[in-house]
Amino acid sequence: MDETEADEYRRLAARDGLTLSEWVRQKLRRAERDEASGNVDRKLAAIRAAARHDFPAADIDRMLREIESGYRA
């Protein structure tokens, strides 16, 4: 990066009360987190599609009893 760009980043870091290196670390962490979280629209579409299904399910108390009995087996 050229000196003008570096000066701008230093100014942004100072505005936030950070050193340039800490400002860069925070920006990189945020970018990594955003990248790892994936496409929000795609995730919402998958949730909406799953919610349209109507599968049979047992009574919640029965399901919990069956789960607990599996732990003891």
What's the CA gap between 14 and 18, in Å, rounded? 5
For the whole prediction, is pTM greater than 0.75? no
Q: For 7, what's the count of Cα atoms within 13 Å in the CB-facing half-sphere?
A: 3
Give the residue from 44, 5, 45 showing the smallest Cα distance to 24.
5
| pLDDT tens figures, 44-62 | 998 999 889 888 888 999 9
The pLDDT tens digits for 1-35 are 899 999 999 999 999 999 999 999 999 999 888 77
Who's near 19: CB < 8 A, 6+ residues apart?
13
Find tokens 């087996």 and name the residue: 73
- Domain enclosing residue 42, as ranges: 3-72
Residue 41, φ and ψ in degrees, nearest 5: -60, -40
How many domains does the chain fold into? 1
